[in-house]
Structure 1
Amino acid sequence: MFKMMTIVILLCVLSVTVQAETDSKKEYTITGRIFEKSSPKTPIPLASIFFPELGIGTVTKMDGTFIMNKLDAGTYKIEVTSLGYEPIKMTIVLGDKETVDLKLFMEKSNFRLNEVVVTAQNNRAGTSTSSKISRIAMDHMQATSLADVLALIPGQLVENQTLQNALSLNLRFLTLPSGDQMSAAISMNSFGSAVYKDGAPISNNANLQALSTSFTSGESSVGGSAAPANSIDLRNVSADNIESIEVIRGIPSAEYGDLTSGAVIINTKAGIEPLRINFRTNPNVYLFTASKGLNLGKERGSLHISGDYAYSVKDITQSYIYYQRATARLLYSNSFWNKKLRSNTSLDFTYGDNRRDKNPDEEVQQIKENGTTKGITFNTNGILNTDFGWLKNIRYTLSASYVAKNSHHQQMRSSANASFSMTKTDGTTLSNKPGVDVYDENGNKITNFSDNDASNYTIYLPDSYLTSYSIEGREINVFAKLSANLIKISGPISNRIITGIDFRSDGNRGKGLVFDPNTPPYRNLSALNSTFRARSYKEVPFINQLGVFVQENFNWLIGGKRNLDVSVGLRYDKIFDFNDILAPRINASLEIIPDKFSIKGGFGIAAKTPSLLYLHPETAYFEFVHYNSMAMESIPEAQRLLLTTTYAVDTENPDLKLAKNQKTEIGFRLNLGKLHMDVTAFEEKMKNGYSLTDAFKPMTYKVYEQSGDLPADGVSFPTLKLTNEYPVLLCYNTPKNNITINSKGVELEMQVNRIDAIRTAFSVNGSYIRTETYNNDYTYYFPTPSDPAKRTHVGVYEKGMEKFLKERLLTTFRATHNIPSIGLVATLTAQVTWFDKNWYKIKNDSIPVKYISKYDGKMYDFDVDKVGEENYMSEEDYTNIKRTVNTTHYIKESMPPLLCMNINVTKELGDYMRVSFFANNMFRSHPIYKQKRAQNSYLKRNEDLFFGLELSLLLNR
């Protein structure tokens, strides 16, 4: 495949060279002027004229005029856009006249248009499989965050809007409404989904807001903000300053790196816009937004200002649990050097606070928790038109962000007696008195500490105490990209080569985990002898990535009728101090019946860099108590002794590899009059996704008791004697490439343009998706008794022992009725889940294939026939590592068809006001499904009845 794609690229480039020798030098020019349709004498300044197949364009001057020169003969597609206006798409042929003059009229984008498109639109042939969502579609659905907008793409369930929980991004992946048995795979799919805003990625690679990931998964965060193992928190991306969104589900362009699942491309508002004020409310959220685009005058460009504030309470009886968001944005746009350089420069401010205040009616646990995000982002991007031979323009993007994240947790803990040592040094043995040694009956020193730990000691925590800790992250993300656009057109063949380089750096300079050692975080009961230590993120290195890419977009108009489009690219990524990868990608389409029927296909490799969570995991700390008399009231307080040893285990995995996803697609596109249909069959295979999983290290646990009487001075520690030594295994998390995700399915996007007789347009989108997720490594089983004498070996079960499969067929029907004369648009949505199934494929889950010995930590083959033999495992040891088989996993859950009806209505009130309303599950349909795996367990299907209202004012029009 690599060789074949290299040959394709070389042939495409060679075609350019051959054409260059035979092409004429005649050049053509397009001039024009753009006006408002409602006011034909009013020009539209700063409108964009763009040639999508060539990647070139210009903007209008203050009088609405523009010029594009030095064009070759041929057929061109042109897109004209301006903030607040409906785009114009047209095709023009150059060849007869040297200069073509255009006079265009743009309609204001509102709900009085003859045809209002409020659904996602599929992409053009020969490019990545994606859906584009316009501003007017977002207004109609009253999106409160980026997460709400994604309901328009195929296969997405319509869910009620909420800002109460962190919202992540999953593409071509099924999750269950009642929780998922493969949460690591969900996190990996989300982690591999990229979000680009104005050409720069919004990164989650430096996120470390989780407590003790050496014993937990990193799939949740302290305070409820974005989890380190997931994508960014979509709640923090306001939907109101977005002009358009493209959701790439298929094989992305070679320009996009550091992703496996797909990407969301956000283009924010830029340009001149009247003052718009929105107020939106629903049972969960209050939202206020305002935006204004200022014309700064001749040759001074424009300044767009926007901001919003959102407040969310899910349950009014728990008003102390809430989320609030505030954003502000300044974007300056201008053209320089006679329109040769067009640039946008922005400054974003973001504030998000996920908070649980203390319940005034609850005095026992005293829980308080919050996750606060404060960020500032600088972004500048632009296009420099050069026109040096094939080189038509150079694009650049530079972005830098600083995000301060503060997570805090407070809770009164009971049954909290435990030891806590102040040291972080592996093998250090301390008592409860700093610098004081303890000896055994033979005069051997038991304590072991260096001069650095001479002032440290261990404490015995009380039975109950108020624990309070914080995680302070200071994420720094830098991104820079430079690309060149080379174009050659000769008759029916056009070549567009994009080549470039990008660099990104992600790091964290926060204080990390901070707490008072006298009231540390509550011990992890599922991780025996585990303990916490403060960790500064300033010690964690940055992740630095360099990417180089080239992409050839080849078009051949065969016989003057049929288009062959081939987009083939190659991307090389180097992650410094880690690894590198070469990723080929190709998308192609061929018209079988011109303008009516075409076939398409694609193949590509996408890779995701491990984040700081996986590249630089935190050290695992364990604490073993050798002797403890702190609770013995018969012993004088000065002579009570607590003796512990701390073990520090490095959890880094030097064998970690880049996670890769192989994507394959095939499909067709059909256009018959008003009917437009796009069908895509896909298959995706990821075999080495990231997760934090079990690892083991042997150690000997020594237990002492008092030898003889207490010293008569009433101050000195007693002498101890060794009573037992127990072999045990330390269990901790380490990053591994053990997640496999196999997805396949079919996506449908179908539209019937507005039928004027009934003033209604129809659309259907949907998908059949089947996902298979599993741990491709061994499965470990071991009981966790607190008594060291009962610690066991670890049973090792075969790789890929248990696979979890999900299958769903979902279609969403939308009928959009509009009456332009009164500015009314109503959309009725019927979402049908035809079937929803999940089941397990289970191999040998009852007999281990290997075991890890508690004596030396090594893995040995297991033979059940040798159990009980001399020098082999005893019957009791075998019983301890033998899993209890969960027979319910053999039961398949299969839910019957489900219908959910929703409605969206938008009405223009004059020229200055708009009101919108929506209702989800408008008929309150809640079928009850009795789950088969869990006895007496029922699942209420469909979302609750949910509705919202928006009032929008347009001033200074």
Structure 2
Amino acid sequence: MIKALHTITFLFLTIPFWAEAQSVKEIRGKVTDTANAPLSFCNIKISQSDLVVSTAIDGSFTIPVLPGTREIQLEVSHVGKQVVQRTISAAAFGNFLVIRLQDLSLSLNKVEVTGIRKGNASNSSILYNREAIAQLQAFSLADILNNLPGKTTTAPQLQNPQTITLRSDAGGNHALSNSLGTAIILDGVRQSNDANMQSRSLSIRGMTSSILGSRSDGSFDVPFGGIDLREIPADNIESVEVVSGVASAQYNELTDGAIIINRQAGRTRYQFNTRINEGSTDFSLSKGFGLGKKLGALNLSLGYLNSNKDPRDKIKSYNRVNSSLMWTIYLSKKIKNTLSFDYNTRLDDVKVDPDDDAELKTYAKSRSLSISNRTSITFGRGFVKSMNMSLSFSSGYQDTYNQWLLNGPPKGLANKDTTGVYEGIFLPGAYLAEERIIGKPRNYAANISMISVFNTDLMLHSISYGLNISGSGNKGEGIVVDPERPRWINISNQNERPYNYKELNDMTSAGVYLQDNITLRLGRRNVHLGMGLRYDIQNGTGSLQPRMSARYMLSKKLELNAAYGISSKSPTMAHRNPAPAWLDIPLLNLYNGYADQSLFLVYTQKIIPDNSNLKPSRSSQLEVGLKYNDTWGSTSFFAYLKQDRNGFNSYSRFQPLNLPEYGYTAIPGQKITYYPTGNTITYAGAGNYVITNGLSSNNYGVEWMIQTRKIPVLQTSFTAGTSFSLSTYHNATDRRVIMVDNAYIQQGKEAWYGVYHADEKKNWSLTTKFGTDTHIPKLGFVISLSADIFWQKSTETLNHGNEPIGYIDKNLQYHDIPYFSSSNPVYGYLKLDPDVVIVNGVAMSNTAPTKLPFVYGNLNMRIAKEINKQIRLSLSAYNVLNLRPEYYNPVTQSTTVYGSPVSLTAGLSVQF
């Protein structure tokens, strides 16, 4: 695999020598503001070639144009300015262009205040620009993404982690795997959660149950999954592009889409923002300083957020502090460099309730420092038109703590780190128990990419190619266990031991890619083809990932598009390096009231997991779509099939132990003595959780969006979007293994464990979003209404059989059962009881589908008023009509309330 990577890397780096440079023309121009002052560091994107150039300190720019080009389309953007799109015909190539950008303001005639289908990074991507983000009054990135099709617009949720899943209705570990495979890319750098190991022993509890949390408020860390979106503030974000379809081959370490975030860079005025929602308050201040012609521009941003779950007692709170510094400079006319520093802290804190005798207390705090450097070089006339290089490094500190005052009888504890029989210790029943995990994650990455543009006959080729390497490590103290104050004792015949992360090796991944975006004429219309190929090495496994897309204009208004691609995501350090399993089997547990005279004889078997063979999770997606644009507006329709394979799962594995039997002699006033009897006892219930590539899901869906332009007589535009999503998912390789009753083992029966089909589930949902935006430029006023309609949401368990398909004997040998017979003496007793549960004394099938009993919805409202283009007052109301329908289930005799109570967010933004 390494040899193959070296070969492909060599070929990619020699691409510039495959063809001779073609002679090119140049378009020259200048970008200014409305006062004719030059604007530096503007981004000018050429849509046909994917090239991006930046304006110099004096606002000037030069764009190379290949011979035979009929026209080019430019998109010019600058922080705090309205984006301008310009089409330049061949006849105007020699003219000097002057492009003026207006300040973003509600007084402009055209303002985008909702997300739009843009199709930049993929055919179906959705873009939120600066004005749309400001209108949302977002406390974090999560509030922006709640406006996506199929998501629910809710008041800010800040008391627990928020992650994102795209194009999937699967739950449990499948949802964890989906969020892990959704890449968050900030200013061109992927934000990695691969070094997050804030979990207790996975061997004891599995993935989700191993995350440390509080009894009243759940957990606050996100190992095994994606980035916590609460930690990404929204105020300094310039744009967010959501790629839920097939991404370009440029993007790595993803299986379920990408969130591409660009932050503000360039000279700006001071911007102060504040907002309040119930017990949550947010403040931010930012400024872009011009440092002169030689030193470029410096952007500073500071933010503070405080959120209390209940402002009356302030027992549960969330605090976030974020700061960023971004220095952009031209090292020469063709070399632009951006150096970024980010320092962030967060604290989830559950204080001791004065009325709680158990003295429960939980906190999860972290801090991180990130440094990145991006260099962009424009070559102009050569075969290589541009080169981008980036280096990034982040280092953090994570500390999760939980305490509980225990009051019970003395208990025996196994505490040695070796395999064998020994005497454990007895702990008093009353003490303040503690759990603590300390991590010091670090992530680093290096990327280099180049773009070449050339013509071949009737085709325009825009080829991007590059390579990347990334790594993750964790040098924290790890799982910290006080042997005299453990929180849990003998959980599933296991006990926590200290586990030091400092001894773990870093994980590295590397990859190369080639992407050829082709434009050609077919009849009177253009065809756009994207042909991409990636090769990655992740956890020692090579992965070849073709990605293809096509767009064809059937007419001037109607576009047909399609895409297919394969992508992969490497396991994280938490998957790769779980703590060892210590199977602790009590042989004699004799307590007579005096610890020094009592006896706790225990056998411990230490199992060190080897997950070096874990494969990357893998996804393939097929997407087809139609886009229609007219003078009244636009509509789009997309259908997709996405297959996720090799997802990461925690699977319970039995480890039967045949151990010697011991007798004992108890003499009052003396230490209890013990001796072997010569007999053995089999402990068939011992076991631990292991990590596998056992998850598999098929995801189907359609997305339909309509967006109208503003109707002048109403000053109002309308949007609507309907999303249908269906997921079937199961543990493809991890079947259910259930131990038989111990009585059958004692009788000498052959089958010790029954093997059954893995649970297969089907979830589906149908939702619609409606929206209206009334914008009156003369008043600087916008009022937006949005409604979420929940037509149906269903969860159903499939193929949950109670008849075995095989069994495992005492020697751990598997035997297939082609046709089950309950009269078979070998395995007939393995048939499980019917799948029923007792709810309020009523027997019910636990595989019956769960559906919404009725259609319901909510209505949200946002109002914004701008004063003198400097002050903006905003008010957002969630579920403004307080629609909270209730359903009484006569079978379970329980009542379910749908929807959330009314919630208000008030905001103030000032520029000066």
Match of 2:282 in 1: 287
TM-score using structure 1 length: 0.87
> Is it true that 1:88 corresponds to 2:84 in the alignment?
yes
Give the aligned partner of residue 5 of structure 1: none
1:30 aligns with 2:16: no
Read off the aligned partner of 2:311 and give its amino acid letter: I
Of 475, 491, 503, which residue of structure 1 is paired with 2:469? 503
Cα distance between partner residues in 1 of 2:875 and 2:886: 28
Matched, 1:736 2:692: yes
Paired position in structure 1 for 2:716: 760
Residue equivalent to 1:590: 552
Match of 1:861 among 802, 813, 816: 816
Counterpart of 2:581 (choices 617, 620, 623) is 620
Distance 1:725 1:834 in 2: 57
Return the alpha-carbon distance in structure 1 between the equivalents of residues 92 and 322 of structure 2. Answer: 50
Count of aligned pairs: 881
CA distance in 1, matches of 2:410, 2:111: 65
Rounded to whole Å, the distance in 1 between the matches of 2:893 and 2:267 is 60
Residues 798-848 of structure 1, C-alpha deviations (whole Å, 9 max, x = no match): 434x322122221111110111112101111122122222323235x2221
In structure 1, distance between residues paired with 2:17 and 2:66: 18
Any idea what SS the aligned residue of 1:836 has? Answer: strand
Residue deviations 1:510-557 (CA, integer Å, cap 9, x gap): 1101121011231364x2x11111100112221110111001000113
Q: Please name the residue that 2:7 is paired with.
A: none
1:721 positional shift: 4.2
Provide the alpha-carbon RMSD of the alignment. 2.7
Asked whether 1:393 is paired with 2:355, we answer no
Residue in structure 1 matching 2:646, options 684, 688, 693: 688
| 1:818 pairs with one of 741, 764, 775 | 775
Partner letter of residue 423 of structure 1?
A: K
* 910-919 or 68-77, which deviates more: 68-77
The one of 898, 901, 917 equivalent to 2:875 is 917
The corresponding residue for 2:197 is 208
Matched, 1:579 2:541: yes
Residue 9 of structure 2: aligned partner? none
Aligned to 2:421: 429
Rounded to whole Å, the distance in 1 between the matches of 2:741 and 2:346 is 39
Q: Alpha carbons of 1:490 and 1:625: their partners in 2 closer, same or farther (altered >3 Å)?
A: closer
Classify the secondary structure of the residue corresponding to 2:203. Answer: coil
1:76 maps to 72
Show the counterpart of 1:111.
106
Partner Cα separation in structure 2 for residue 817 and residue 331 of structure 1? 36
Which structure 2 segments of 5+ residues have no match? Answer: 1-14, 214-218, 838-843
Confirm or deny: 8 A CA contact 2:835 2:845 kept in the other structure.
Answer: no
- How far off is 1:903 after superposition? 0.5
Contact 1:571 1:584 in 2 (8 A): yes
The letter for the 2-side match of 1:645 is Y
1:756-800 deviation line (CA, Å, top 9, x unaligned): 221111112231111112222311234798999799965434434
- Residues 72 and 360 (structure 1), Cα distance of their counterparts in 2 relative to 1, 3 Å cut: farther
- The offset of 1:637, in angstroms, is 5.7
* Partner residue in 2 for 1:518: 484
TM-score between the two structures when normalised by the length of structure 2: 0.92
Conserved 8 A contact 1:162-1:284: no
Inter-partner Cα distance in structure 2 for 1:739 and 1:507: 25
- Correspondent of 2:368 among 375, 396, 400: 375
Residue pairs, 1:330-409, within 5 angstroms: 330-338=325-333, 340-362=334-356, 364-387=357-380, 389-409=382-402
Kindly tell me: are residues 346 and 324 of structure 1, through their superposed partners in 2, closer, same or farther at Cα, counting changes over 3 Å?
same
What secondary structure sits across from 1:217 in the alignment?
helix
Correspondence 1:57-206 to 2 at 5 A: 57-69=52-64, 71-74=66-69, 75-94=71-90, 96=91, 99-124=94-119, 127-174=122-169, 182-206=171-195
Q: Distance in 1 between matches of 2:87 and 2:620?
A: 36
Q: Aligned equivalents of 1:424 and 1:637: distance in 2?
A: 22
Q: CA deviation at 1:707?
A: 4.1
Do the aligned partners of residues 365 and 72 (structure 1) sit closer, same or farther apart at CA in structure 2, a change above 3 Å counting?
Answer: farther
Please tell me whether the aligned partners of residues 164 and 323 of structure 1 are also in contact (alpha carbons under 8 angstroms).
yes
* Of 179, 186, 206, the match for 1:217: 206
The 1:894–1:70 alpha-carbon spacing in structure 2 relative to 1, beyond 3 Å, is closer
Match of 1:8 in 2: none
* Residues 99, 867 of structure 1: alpha-carbon distance in 2 compared, 3 angstrom cutoff: same
In the alignment, which of 663, 682, 687 is matched to residue 726 of structure 1?
682
- The SS at the match of 1:214 is helix
Aligned residues of 1:28 and 1:73 also touching (Cα < 8 A): no
Provide the rounded CA distance (Å) in 2 between the counterparts of 1:646 and 1:763.
63
Q: Which amino acid aligns with 2:575?
A: Y
Give the secondary-structure state (helix, strand or coil) at the position aligned to 2:48: coil
> In 1, distance between residues paired with 2:58 and 2:684?
81
Aligned pair 1:897/2:855, yes or no?
yes
Greater mean deviation of Cα atoms: 222-231 or 580-589: 222-231
Counterparts of 1:320 and 1:954, CA distance in 2: 36
Q: Give, in angstroms, the shift of residue 654 of structure 1.
A: 5.4
Of 351-360 and 463-472, more deviation after overlay is shown by 463-472
**Partner Cα distance (2:700, 2:195) in 1:** 31
Q: Distance in 2 between matches of 1:365 and 1:420?
A: 22
Residues 541 and 769 of structure 1: is their aligned pair in 2 closer, same or farther, counting only changes over 3 Å? same
Equivalent position to 1:827, from 781, 784, 805: 784
- Alignment CA distance shift 1:715-1:170 (3 Å): closer
The 1:651–1:130 alpha-carbon spacing in structure 2 relative to 1, beyond 3 Å, is same
CA distance in 1, matches of 2:169, 2:822: 44
Change in Cα spacing, 1:196 to 1:557, as seen in structure 2 (3 Å) is same
Is 1:532 the counterpart of 2:496? The answer is yes
Residues 1:930 and 1:423: Cα distance change in structure 2 (over 3 Å):
same
Tell me the distance in 2 between the aligned counterparts of 1:597 and 1:314: 49
2:194 aligned with 1:233: no
Equivalent residues in 2 for 1:931-950, closer than 5 Å: 935-950=892-907
How far 1:389 sits from its partner (Å)?
3.0
Q: Given the alignment of the two structures, is residue 557 of structure 1 paired with residue 553 of structure 2, yes or no?
A: no
Closer, same or farther in 2 for the Cα pair 1:132/1:640, shift >3 Å?
Answer: same
Instruction: Go from structure 1 to structure 2 and tell me whether the alpha carbon gap of 1:385 and 1:625 turns closer, same or farther (over 3 Å shift).
Output: same
> Which residue does the alignment assign to 2:793?
836
In structure 2, the CA distance between the partners of 1:56 and 1:726, relative to structure 1 (3 Å rule), is closer
CA contact 1:29–1:100 (8 Å) conserved in 2: no
Deviations 1:846-867 (A, max 9, x none): 22122233x3333333575475
One-letter identity of the residue aligned with 1:213:
L
**Conserved 8 A contact 1:51-1:79:** yes
Question: Residues 756 and 803 of structure 2 are in contact (CA less than 8 Å); yes or no, is this contact kept in structure 1?
Answer: no
Task: Quickly say closer, same or farther: Cα 1:726–1:69, change in 2 above 3 A.
Answer: closer
| Aligned equivalent of 2:707 | 751
